[in-house]
Chain A
């Protein structure tokens, strides 16, 4: 694999799935204010918690990975929302002050 393939989460998701691993794809659906990664950015996760790509600057990836494990298990997609004001709903937030919505789906 070339460097650009290694850094390409969708390419990673395809090869993981073909190798028999269970995979979820997380996608930034919407951003408000100052968000570190633009709409359309991907994080891919396998059932062991391995991941490639990003949906933020590392602020919420941990929580997305935890939710992704659920999605892989159940097969039902989830819509997650993170923001600086969401500390009651989520233990993690975006220190940059922005808000993002992240869609997590299982790769079938």
Chain B
């Protein structure tokens, strides 16, 4: 592989663009194909298949043995609320390979000092999500406890099919939230997808432990979802 090809691949991965690396195992020729780039013939069909499945593998094409490695955008986490749990989650997520963005309009919480080196947007989710829309590769965790801040992004995450939607709060808090989300037009099925109380049940007590339980639940949602949808 040439450095140019690797640079192109890494640039695509950084900008959340899917890429397939095609290696001819007989002569070490490497081609990097970005999603949306035109590829004709049988190779075009195989790369399209690889983008859909996300699975790497070897294909035999016209006597050539080609290895197709797929790089899909890494799943990312959007956290609503610059709270204590978010400070821990912002440290844990990169270790697991997840990009993370925090949104909180309360400037007392959303400070550089509390979130050094973290992508932090001190604005209302309604405004932020216009420019940074949620998608199927995104997990949304709403942790402010404040319906004025949490409800809109929760509704939006369910509407666009985020692979994970979690909300902090007791069962009683959540029951009230369910009623409000119905008023926002969400169906019972959609609302049933919300992980609440948030996080896997590992007996988490401290903010850092709740962050760990939430991250584990996000990983579970992503990996289990893959097994169902890929194939």
**Is B117 a contact partner of A39 (Cβ separation < 8 A)?**
no
For chain A, give the interface size range. 20 to 34
Residues of chain A within 8 A (CB-CB) of B98 are: 4
Asked if B185 lies at the interface with its beta carbon under 8 angstroms from chain A, I say no
Q: B230: shortest Cβ distance to chain A, in Å?
A: 12
Asked if A107 lies at the interface with its beta carbon under 8 angstroms from chain B, I say yes
Q: B134: shortest Cβ distance to chain A, in Å?
A: 20
Asked if B95 lies at the interface with its beta carbon under 8 angstroms from chain A, I say yes
Q: Which of B6, B69, B95, B97 contacts A107 (CB 8 A)?
A: B6
A17–B7 Cα distance when bound, in Å, is: 10
Residues of chain A within 8 A (CB-CB) of B55 are: 39
Interface bits B68-84 vs A (CB < 8 Å: 1, else 0)? 01100010000000000
Q: Which residue of B lies closest to A28 (CB)?
A: B56
**Is A108 a contact partner of B117 (Cβ separation < 8 A)?**
no
Asked if B61 lies at the interface with its beta carbon under 8 angstroms from chain A, I say no
**Is B3 a contact partner of A14 (Cβ separation < 8 A)?**
yes
Asked if A95 lies at the interface with its beta carbon under 8 angstroms from chain B, I say no
| Residue tally, chain B, CB below 8 Å to A | 26
A27–B70 Cα distance when bound, in Å, is: 12
Residues of chain A within 8 A (CB-CB) of B70 are: 40
Asked if B204 lies at the interface with its beta carbon under 8 angstroms from chain A, I say no
Residues of chain B within 8 A (CB-CB) of A108 are: 1-3
Say which one of A5-13, A51-59, A61-69, A82-90 lies at the interface with B: A5-13
A29–B23 Cα distance when bound, in Å, is: 10
A103–B2 Cα distance when bound, in Å, is: 15
A51–B67 Cα distance when bound, in Å, is: 23
Interface bits A36-55 vs B (CB < 8 Å: 1, else 0)? 00111000000000000000
Interface bits A3-36 vs B (CB < 8 Å: 1, else 0)? 1100100110110011000000101011000000
Q: Which residues of B does A touch, CB under 8 Å?
A: 1-3, 6-7, 9-10, 13, 23, 25, 28, 30, 55-58, 67, 69-70, 74, 94-95, 97-99, 117
A sample of 15 more A-B contacts (CB under 8 A), given A10-B10, A29-B25, is A4-B74, A4-B95, A7-B97, A10-B13, A14-B7, A17-B3, A25-B1, A25-B6, A39-B56, A40-B56, A103-B23, A103-B25, A103-B67, A107-B3, A107-B6
* 28 A–B contacts from the bound complex (CB under 8 Å): A2-B94, A2-B117, A4-B74, A4-B95, A4-B98, A7-B95, A10-B9, A10-B10, A11-B10, A13-B6, A14-B3, A14-B7, A14-B10, A17-B3, A18-B3, A25-B1, A27-B23, A27-B67, A29-B67, A30-B57, A39-B57, A40-B69, A40-B70, A79-B25, A105-B28, A105-B30, A106-B1, A107-B3
Q: Which residues of A does B touch, CB under 8 Å?
A: 2-4, 7, 10-11, 13-14, 17-18, 25, 27, 29-30, 38-40, 77, 79, 103, 105-108
